Amino acid sequence: MFGKIWKDKKQSPLSLSYTKEEILRHPIPEHVAIIMDGNGRWAKKRALPRAAGHYEGMQVVRKITRFANELGIKVLTLYAFSTENWKRPKSEVEYLMKLPEQFLTTFLPELIEENVNVRVIGNREQLPDHTRRAVEQAIAETKQNTGLILNFALNYGSRAEITYAIQSIAKQVEKGLLSPEDINEDLVASYLMTKDLADPDLLIRTSGEIRLSNFMLWQLAYTEFWFTDVLWPDFTEQHLLEAIAEFQKRGRRFGGV
């Protein structure tokens, strides 16, 4: 289906190279979600502090956002901070909380120019003021943009999201505004933080971990998964093309035949 060029054998004998043009000949996933993992290991391998891995990870966010936009992907959801990440050492949490601010201050003009629409899922109220302000400014300033939706999952946890949705629905039932029979899958989806977005078509997780870590449990029901050993700071445009090529080879039946 695609031109196959073997990469340097020493590097990865099984990986194929794809060009953007080859990938664009077939339907591409509209919504790509990524669990960006391996920043810490990347830093450790280089005897650097973990923060250096997160900083490098932020540069990759920029590169992949740009490329996703070029490919015509409609939504890119990035797991930037989970509700469980608060358990990390205080200094690391503080650093991670500075990243959205740093990213958005540095790259906001570029995101605006590239017509990117920034959004956030997750509990914003628990974020430090400086982080929340940066995120809200980016959301406000890119609100009119019609290109790629760059959706950060920030202080996001899927179980918390679903629990909150159930509470909200229960309150409506208690008030008599909904009856239990009104509760169907569409209604539940409309109470989730992703209510305005289609479900992801492709989920990527880097760093060799093969689990979901409380990420979009409802939304990933029919998503194609692609796992790679590559650490997030080493993730390139070529890896994204590889993931999409694999997606294009899979037949999605959504439970049908």
Active-site positions read 37, 85
Q: Does 54 bind ligand FPP (CB under 6 A)?
A: yes
| 218 CB-near residues (< 8 Å, 6+ apart) | 158, 161, 162, 188, 189, 192
Q: Give yes or no for residue 200 binding ligand FPP (CB under 6 A).
A: no
User: Closer to ligand FPP at the Cβ: 152 or 226?
Assistant: 152
Q: State both tokens at 224.
A: 């194609």
* Minimal distance, residue 92 CB to ligand FPP, in Å: 8
Among residues 204, 199, 216, 194, the alpha carbon closest in space to that of 64 is found at: 204
Q: Annotated binding residue at 252?
A: no
Name the phi and psi angles at 119, rounded to 5. -135, 165
Structure-block tokens of residue 60: 């990759």
Q: 201-216 burial by CB neighbour count: b if 16+ within 10 A, else e?
A: bbbbbbbeeeeeebbb
Q: Is 157 in the site for ligand FPP (CB under 6 A)?
A: no
54 is in an annotated binding site: yes
Residue 250 annotated in ligand binding: no
Q: Considering only the stretches 96-104, 120-128, 183-191, 244-252, report the one whose residues sit in contact with ligand FPP under the rule CB under 6 A.
A: 96-104
- Cα 30 from chain centroid (whole Å): 13
Q: Considering only residues 31-50, where is the footprint of ligand FPP by CB under 6 A? A: 36-41
For ligand FPP, the binding residue among 77, 85, 142, 228 (CB under 6 A) is 85
Task: Decide: is 148 part of the binding site for ligand FPP (CB under 6 A).
Answer: no
41 is in an annotated binding site: yes
CB-CB contact of 145 with 112 (8 Å) = yes
Query: How many residues bind ligand FPP, per CB under 6 A?
Result: 19
Q: Which residue type does 170 have?
A: A
Could you tell me the two tokens for 116? Answer: 């990117």
Restricting to residues 203-222, name those near ligand FPP by CB under 6 A.
Answer: 207
- Is residue 48 marked as binding? no
Interaction of residue 100 with ligand FPP, rule CB under 6 A: yes
Secondary structure (3-state) at 141: helix
Shortest separation between residue 210's beta carbon and ligand FPP, angstroms: 13
Query: What does residue 117 show for φ and ψ, rounded to 5 degrees?
Result: -105, 110
Nearer to ligand FPP, 142 or 248 (CB): 142
- Which of these, 30, 122, 135, lies nearest to 76 by C-alpha position? 30
Residue corresponding to tokens 């570029």: 110
Q: Does the annotation place 82 within a ligand binding site?
A: yes
Q: For residues 215 and 247, which CB has a smaller minimum distance to ligand FPP in the complex?
A: 215
Residues making up the annotated binding site for Mg(2+) are 37, 224
- What does the binding site for ligand FPP look like in residue numbers (CB under 6 A)? 36-41, 54, 57-58, 61, 80, 85, 96, 99-100, 103, 152, 207, 232
